[in-house]
Amino acid sequence: MTERTQTDTPGPPDPAPPVVHRPAGLTTAEVAERVARGEVNDVPVRGSRSTADIVRGNVFTRFNAIIGVLWLIMLIVAPIQDSLFGFVIIANTGIGIIQELRAKKTLDGLAVIGEAKPTVRRDGVAAEISTSEIVLGDLIELGPGDKAVVDGVVAEADSLEIDESLLTGEADPVLKRPGDAVMSGSFVVAGGGAFTATKVGREAYAAQLAEEASRFTLVHSELRTGISTILKYVTWMMLPTALGLIISQLVVKSHGFQEAVARTVGGIVPMIPEGLVLLTSVAFAIGVIRLGRKQCLVQELPAIEGLARVDVVCLDKTGTLTEGGMDVTELRTLNGADEAYVRKVLGALGESDPRPNASLQAVIDAYPDAEDWRCTESLPFSSARKYSGAAFSEGDGEDSTWLLGAPDVLLPAGDPALGEIDRLNEQGLRVLLLARAAADLDSPDVAAGARATALVVLEQRLRPDAGDTLAYFADQNVTAKVISGDNAVSVAAVAGKLGLPGAANTVDARALPTDRDEMAEALDANAVFGRVTPQQKRDMVAALQSRGHTVAMTGDGVNDVLALKDADIGVSMGSGSEATRAVAQIVLLDNSFATLPSVVAEGRRVIGNITRVATLFLTKTVYSMLLAILVVVSQVEYPFLPRHLTLLSTLTIGVPAFFLALAPNKERARPHFVRRVMRYAIPAGVIAGAATFASYLLARHHYTGPGALDAETSAATLTLFLVSMWVLAIIARPYTWWRIALVAAMGGAFLLVLVVPALQSFFALKLVGVTMPWTAVAIAAGASALLEFVWRWVGRRFPA
């Protein structure tokens, strides 16, 4: 078939196009009537916990209940000094509630900004409305990337293809025709249309799935799981230890009921790592607030932690490394085609698609529509096909069918034009092939025998921050893999311009093996992959995960949805399709790829610092249990009153932990949280407890007469404080000026208590004589030296 050019010879007028009935949708009165009947889409938007849940979750905890009972007892039988631990818990719980409410406000605000707004036709006018405003019977328009938010029946279809894989597991898109059912949660991959809502609210299919899914956490949090495991074992160990201590102090010893109760409570309270859960919640909440200020919506809190553990990040080129827009830089005709005629074809193709992608939009901007051409049939672009098409009735009555898409898909292997295309791709340019089809558009092999007519050369706009972001990942030992549906050579050129390591080794995904192990080997050996289908993206994520990698996937198009869903962490651009935003755990609302390092850094800060301070809390739990056991076995008074351990906990754990938990931390999160914490907490707690009890026993033999018990307690407190300070000094490494100042300030505060008479009296601490205090210091020094040795030995013997 030869190309024909338009002439100026007047011909018969075109027949009037058939009148197509376009449903107008509900009227305003009908909408009001349905709202009055309650037929609205009242499914709550996935978001943060309610205010009541936040208060309940922070107040009504297992350990708060234990401490609350002990606090009430102490308020009755002991001075207010021994009840300070209760006021500290109230303050800590209040801080936790306030921070989580701040995080809720941030999350809810961002969720409104990032909420998808479906287009609904009412009174014949299409307008975007909130999902919650949809009513039964509404006519909802659909285009590529749109998600069906309610169940319905197709009313209009223009080559409408819907992916239902997230609901049914069926990978192939389903071609929908008027009258076919549409399930909420499915999304459009090609074409367009409209459907009438038949089920809204909690009756919709996706709402039922969401309610089922909400019963468990969608993103695994090793941090929270680990802390829960630790607390479970602490609870079981604490119960018999506390019971033995109660019997020991109330029955065996007889120094007065009130003091026996006080010392019993003083032994039980420090066993509880009550601040650990609180500090974890605060750290997560502050992380959400910090990221919210950078227009980053964290849809599931543990996702902050998950991204910090990532060691492979898979990047989609378009929309991630490059900006969405493109520009046509050149038009090259092939096989003697007339350029003026080609421009008309391109203009008509642009007009045939009501929802053009970025490539076609560039064509529309460059070539105006040929108004005398009428589109008789269209084939929307699909990432699986890699091309779009349309059939036209030209102005002179001639019919023609045209395809526009990937040259290496439309042209047979060995075609001479492919060499020229490769050279353009090597420059980082994107090339589309315009070809005249020999078959009808609805033919399954419409691309077979297509005649190449022209090359459309597009220049992609690189994101200015993409290079720095890739450099950040390389510096942090996070491997970046560029996985794109575009031509492999073109993708490699873009990656090379941005300085991606391994960009020179590019792989055409059509040559990738299907076996998971073989695919994983190819992925480990290469960094850039082109011509990747949506299913291959999903397979690649699974292959990387099979090698033990924690995988993050970024994307913004419908072709990324399956991979985003299966990745450990899915990251979507705010301007991406509704489907990608729905399945992603993290949405970059400002569409800035440069925000990703901030998310990684925030996750690392949370995990690294919680691991750090958890060692402080659990060291206290270990030495408290050991002291209680030694007291029961030795049949002596418990050495401390609650006021002593409140002071020690505040200075060596509470205040330092708060600052350390919020400090910068760039270390990549490592697995085995429980093992890494306990390998240090157990030996540190044993050494601290043994040294303190040794100092206490020596003091019991040294002091006699009235006031001996207070002097013994003071000596033991001095030893425990010094050893705990050494634990803090180790945890605070590597040192910075503020960390040194923090440790010094805690030491200065304790010294102030020892020298100010009023504070001495308030905390019942007074060092008596010279021999025993210096003996306590010597014991603490020896214990600290042993602690330093064991700490280093454990680090070498049991590396993380």
- 10 Å CB burial of residue 409 (0-12, 13-18, 19+) is middle
CA-based angle 446:412:360, to the nearest 5? 60
User: Given the structure tokens 């998950």, which residue do they identify?
Assistant: 306
* Strand order across the 479-483 sheet: 296-298, 586-588, 569-573, 551-555, 312-315, 479-483, 528-530, 506-508
Question: What's 12's DSSP letter?
Answer: P
Q: Residue type at 143? A: G
**Is the Cα torsion angle 111, 113, 114, 120 positive or negative in sign?**
positive
Helix axes 596-634, 708-731, angle to 10 degrees: 150
- Secondary structure in 3-state letters for 36-48: HCCCECCCCCCCC
What is the spatial distance between Cα 599 and Cα 552, in angstroms, rounded to a whole number? 12
Would you say 373 and 424 are in contact if contact means Cβ atoms under 8 Å apart?
no
Taking alpha carbons only, the member of 618, 638, 642 closest to residue 71 is 642
Would you say 618 and 230 are in contact if contact means Cβ atoms under 8 Å apart?
yes
Would you say 177 and 197 are in contact if contact means Cβ atoms under 8 Å apart?
no
What is the spatial distance between Cα 154 and Cα 197, in angstroms, rounded to a whole number? 9
What is the spatial distance between Cα 648 and Cα 724, in angstroms, rounded to a whole number? 8
Beta strands in 504-663 (DSSP E): 506-508, 528-530, 551-555, 569-573, 586-588
Catalytic, 442? Answer no
What is the spatial distance between Cα 179 and Cα 26, in angstroms, rounded to a whole number? 18
Kindly state the greatest CA–CA separation across the chain.
Answer: 125
Would you say 197 and 644 are in contact if contact means Cβ atoms under 8 Å apart?
no
What is the spatial distance between Cα 753 and Cα 643, in angstroms, rounded to a whole number? 12
Question: How far, in whole angstroms, is CA 282 from its chain's centroid?
Answer: 17
Please enumerate in sequence order all residues whose Cβ is within 8 A of that of 451, keeping only pairs 6 or more positions apart, or say none.
1, 335, 435, 436, 438
Would you say 599 and 304 are in contact if contact means Cβ atoms under 8 Å apart?
yes
From residue 539, alpha-carbon distances to 125, 378, 515, 532 in Å are 42, 31, 10, 10
- 10 Å CB burial of residue 152 (0-12, 13-18, 19+) is buried
455, β-bridge pairs: 332, 433
Would you say 4 and 398 are in contact if contact means Cβ atoms under 8 Å apart?
yes
DSSP reduced 3-state for 328: strand
What is the spatial distance between Cα 443 and Cα 451, in angstroms, rounded to a whole number? 16
Catalytic residue selected from 146, 151, 311, 316: 316
What is the spatial distance between Cα 403 and Cα 387, in angstroms, rounded to a whole number? 7
User: Given the structure tokens 């070539």, which residue do they identify?
Assistant: 367
User: What is the H or E stretch that residue 604 is in?
Assistant: helix 596-634
User: What is the H or E stretch that residue 195 is in?
Assistant: strand 187-199
User: What is the H or E stretch that residue 139 is in?
Assistant: strand 139-142
Would you say 716 and 699 are in contact if contact means Cβ atoms under 8 Å apart?
yes
User: Given the structure tokens 């076919």, which residue do they identify?
Assistant: 180
What is the spatial distance between Cα 642 and Cα 270, in angstroms, rounded to a whole number? 9
What is the spatial distance between Cα 286 and Cα 289, in angstroms, rounded to a whole number? 5
Positions annotated as catalytic residues are 316
